Amino acid sequence: PGDDFGMMKEVLKRRFKRLLKEDPERDKGLWPDLLLIDGGAGQVSAVASIMREMGVEDVAMVGVAKGVDRDHGKEEFHRVGTRPMALRHNDPVLYFVQRLRDEAHRFAIGTHRAKRSKAVSASPLDEVPGVGAARKRALLAHFGSAKAVSRAALADLKAVEGVSEALAQRVYDHFHDKG
């Protein structure tokens, strides 16, 4: 599981340090009017604390959390020092905020998948002649990691579907003939 608070802190510090440097007088229109936070009272409190640390206390912030049943349409809005409030389930503002949140989630998930895909694609297996994308996927699916492939016995490599005896030997030699 990720460290949501740590990641939020990192993003906010980067963003607002840059704003403090590039637009200290706040006259260039770069500063946000509102921070919309995906989360409830805990996240809003954490963001407020981070903003105080940076000396930025005049940017409005609202946290959007799913209601007690965690259902769409029952979102609660949180601000520092106030009780949560809700909008009617058919309020166009609620629909707009839901779309913003859903788009942010879609973007974050897409970014995470791209990073994970890139991490999976960079592998010691790429250095083995004859191991292309499909065989690399088969080896990683069978053994779980490139490290496990590197430690595999020749007989285990031969047992992987789509890996010929000659390729199994090449993979084995690549990781074991380091003399």
Q: Helices then strands (H, E): number in the chain?
A: 7, 4
107 is a domain residue: no
pLDDT of residue 113: 84
- Does residue 112 sit within a domain? no
Provide the token pair at 81. Answer: 């020092």
Q: How many domains does the chain divide into?
A: 2
pTM for the whole structure: 0.60
In this structure, the answer to whether residues 8 and 96 fall within a common structural domain is yes
Query: Which domain CATH number covers 52?
Result: 3.30.420.340
C-alpha span between 74 and 112 (Å, rounded): 28
**CA 79 to CA 137: how far, in whole Å?**
47
Question: Could you tell me if residue 93 is inside a domain?
Answer: yes
Co-location of 11 and 97 in the same domain: yes
47: nearest Cα among 34, 35, 29: 35
Per-residue pLDDT at 45 = 94
Does residue 138 lie within any of the structural domains? yes
Domain boundary among 70, 102, 134: 102
Token duo for residue 83: 């009780």
Could you report the average pLDDT of every consecutive run of 10 residues in the chain (179 residues)? 79 94 94 93 94 94 84 86 93 92 88 75 83 90 92 94 94 83
Same domain, yes or no: 82 and 131: no
Same domain membership, residue 128 and residue 98:
no
User: Considering Cα of 49, then 54, then 55, then 57, what sign does the dihedral take?
Assistant: negative
Q: What is the pLDDT of residue 71?
A: 66
In a domain, 47, yes or no: yes
Structure tokens at 39: 């989360």
Single-letter code of the amino acid located at 43: Q
- Give the pLDDT score at 93: 94
**Residue 75 domain boundaries:** 4-102
Nearest CA-CA partner of 139 in 177, 167, 115, 178 = 167
